[in-house]
A and B are shown apart, each in its own frame.
Chain A
């Protein structure tokens, strides 16, 4: 079977090359035949990649240790569901998943535009196929997942314990769906330049694709944060790890694009800037994979290190150089059709918001790569970690929070003084009141105060927008407020979907603020019967036991949680020792409530029989996860707007 898998990838590489050449020939000659043939080749690559993935999956589930990849990443004692998801535990499998998602995007793109006989869409497919050449080439010639061992071992090395978590079953595929999906906006941008295409129709298409990928990437990032919270056991969820940063950067630039693209749609402006953002988003997605795979930086994801980094770096250099040359060559095509009417306008605020998003990305990029740069220049090893990012990124992020409230309520073209007064007086008062209310409850420091004021300001602007809209709907057709609100959102899904996304952003800001500024921590070695107090809770150790679970030996503490003398719950923080990898893993015990999480870690069992218990209270952390769900919900509403447009297009024939 491994030969079939290898052959599928070789054929995939050949078909990708054929697709590019055939479409290029068709575009040059105007002949329909090569274009059709090239499109079919993209479909075939998708089919072949699916076949290769099925073959590898079968080997993983069957623990066929004659496959090197299976022997390296699974073992007989690994539960079958983790064996199946170990497809993305190692480099070759992850790249195969990359290719599967990439070719699926190619096929999905061709399916979506199957009735549009416009060579522009063929050019988009050609760009996708060009990227497919790189990935099929890597999997065929550099790191094949179908390498066979001359002497298969009786058992495999097992899966990294860090990856034996339900979150890891969905986090990478969702993250990759977002990462890889940025190929479509990138391909659109390049195709526009290649085909000398003007007009704004393509930009609406790109906006939808970007929104879709952006939602997946954002949700994937949040799932990663959740995984870190549960699995890494340090009381937090975002450590500014290089690989975390790598996933954040394309998301930030994608967000900037989603804002500036509105200016191009409305005013025909910022065309060059938008293409630059599209290219940058895609390049940062590839850079993310490079960081994960190259191991140039120390990371909690260092299990994924390998020697394919130079290939990625080469691809980034070539593709970004080509894209830059194309942008410069076609700069006339990208000239703005209009000029700005006033600085204080929605366009103006979006421009500043773009500056901040790009600055945040730059700060993250610089901080992430600076240890390598510094070592190369000074010869001294340094670390750039959370203390740096918290100090540099937080003020930029807070400025963005304020613009989240300001931008959407400014009028397009120009905002008059009366508009400013009508939209900002009440939110400013609400922001001020929220701050004054917070101070007696322990709110202090510049950033927390700005965060609370900004969050309240944005919430007030969103609430006012909804209240005005609802009132207008009620004036038009009398209905109860909830019904009027549903009608309001249905009438303008894009706008109100955007407000809901902003609501999710505010929730995340408040959640981050609460769980960091107001976090409480206590730790002590406890013998059975001894207690530790944290906040209003009393934690009493009942005992410690050991038992074999699946493929690990688990040491588990039983901690009784009580509040005001009333027993609430028995919690079990534990440590599991995986014999295959000889690695201990911390399994946190969580007591989540809407207001706060009680988070317990078993540090270990000491020689005197006491258990080291570390406890955290993370207030409002639930808002971080809920905010993510709200953002996804808002994005889905904004995306569904297209369905209405499609229906209208159909009705109009």
Chain B
């Protein structure tokens, strides 16, 4: 079970980046509507360039509607997703992307949450191991080992029992003398 606990921690650490790089984007990103409508797949990744700050696919302001029309027309004219996005970024700047490109300084925002989570897990695992380890040492009597693993460590009841047993043995010994 000791291995099981360690495996749990390792799996948890691996699961998140694995999920992140998984081919399917987040479920709120690509809806059924988005999968069927390539224009929506693009506009759902962009911000309306007016000051409303809304995701372009759901924006109902005039600027937003004009931009949606631009994306649809560009697709009809045979342009690809990357081409369309690049032309919009050239015109409005990086601010039009709903999420920054994972490069340069902006890489921090993509990596930091997962690094922080991984560090958090490691600290939690380390603290747990240390606490469990200390407890195991605390209940080890002279010349005697009380076993324990990740889930088999002795409890307070085990400790009390060991102490009472030692006391009873000592008293019996004294009475015998």
Show the binding face of A for B, using Cβ within 8 Å: 232-236, 238-239, 241, 298-300, 302, 336, 339-345, 348, 351-352, 354-356, 358-359, 362-363, 366-367, 370, 374, 377-378, 380-388, 390-392, 394-396, 398-399, 413-417, 442, 444-448, 450-451, 512-513, 516-521, 586, 601, 603-604, 612, 614, 616
Contact = CB atoms under 8 A, between A and B. Distances in A.
B132 A513 contact: no
29 contacts: A234-B55, A234-B59, A239-B58, A302-B53, A343-B125, A343-B129, A344-B4, A344-B8, A351-B124, A362-B113, A362-B116, A367-B113, A381-B94, A383-B47, A383-B94, A385-B98, A387-B45, A388-B98, A394-B27, A395-B20, A399-B16, A416-B151, A417-B151, A446-B23, A448-B27, A513-B27, A518-B31, A520-B33, A603-B60
A298 B47 CA distance: 11
Contact of A363 (B60, B113, B150): B113
A383 B51 contact: no
B164 interface: no
A298 B152 contact: no
Nearest to B17: A395
B121 A352 contact: yes
B167 to A, nearest CB: 22
A519 B16 contact: no
Contact of A343 (B94, B95, B128, B134): B128
A444 B105 CA distance: 34
B25 interface: yes
B120 A358 contact: yes
B104 A378 contact: yes
Interface in B1-39: 1, 4-5, 8, 12, 15-16, 19-20, 22-33, 37
A340 B128 contact: yes
Interface string B149-161: 0111111100000
A382 B152 contact: no
Contacts of B26: 387, 390-391, 394, 447
A396 B29 CA distance: 16
Interface in B71-115: 93-100, 104-106, 108-110, 112-114
A374 B100 CA distance: 10
Given A358-B120, A513-B27, A520 B32 contact: yes
Nearest to A340: B131
A395 B28 contact: no
B105 A413 contact: no
Contact of B117 (A359, A378, A381): A359
Contact of B132 (A339, A358, A450, A518): A339
A4 to B, nearest CB: 40
Contacts of B15: 395, 399
A234 B57 CA distance: 8
B64 to A, nearest CB: 9
Nearest to B44: A387
A299 B47 CA distance: 12
B110 A359 contact: no
Given A235-B58, A300-B54, A519-B33, A343 B47 contact: no
A225 to B, nearest CB: 13
B52 interface: yes
B153 A414 contact: yes
Residue of B97, B106, B154 with most partner-chain A CB within 10 A:
B106
B135 A390 contact: no
A451 B8 CA distance: 19
Contacts of A603: 60, 65
A378 B94 CA distance: 12
B19 A398 contact: yes
A370 B32 CA distance: 30
A391 B58 contact: no
Contacts of B94: 380-383
A355 B99 contact: no
Nearest to A354: B124
Contacts of A241: 53
Interface residues of B, number: 75
A374 B33 CA distance: 32
A394 B28 CA distance: 9
Identify the 10 closest CB pairs spanning chains A and B, nearest first. A234-B58, A390-B26, A445-B24, A521-B33, A363-B113, A388-B99, A387-B98, A395-B19, A355-B120, A340-B131
Given A374-B105, A383-B100, 17 more contacts: A362-B116, A370-B100, A374-B109, A378-B105, A378-B106, A383-B53, A388-B109, A390-B28, A391-B26, A399-B15, A413-B155, A415-B151, A442-B32, A447-B22, A520-B32, A521-B33, A604-B65
Contact of B32 (A341, A345, A517, A601): A517
A382 B135 contact: no
Contacts of B123: 355
Interface in B123-177: 123-125, 127-129, 131-132, 134-135, 138, 148, 150-156
Contact of A300 (B53, B99, B125): B53
A388 B135 contact: no
A606 to B, nearest CB: 11
Contacts of A354: 124
B98 A395 contact: no
Nearest to B135: A339
B5 A344 contact: yes
Contact of B124 (A341, A352, A363): A352
A447 B24 contact: yes
Most chain A CB inside 10 Å of its own CB: which residue of B32, B127, B151: B151
A356 B8 CA distance: 14
A396 B16 contact: yes
Nearest to A357: B120
A380 B150 contact: no
B105 to A, nearest CB: 5
B31 A370 contact: no
Given A387-B44, A394-B27, A512-B28, A446 B105 contact: no
A214 B153 CA distance: 36
Given A339-B132, A521-B33, A299 B120 contact: no
A159 B15 CA distance: 48
Interface centre among A302, A345, A382, A413 (most CB of B within 10 A): A382
- The CB with the most chain B CB atoms within 10 A, among A233, A340, A358, A362, is that of A340
Given A340-B132, A383-B100, A384-B100, A447 B19 contact: yes
A446 B21 CA distance: 10
Name, among A366, A370, A383, A520, the residue most crowded by chain B CB atoms within 10 Å (CB to CB).
Answer: A383
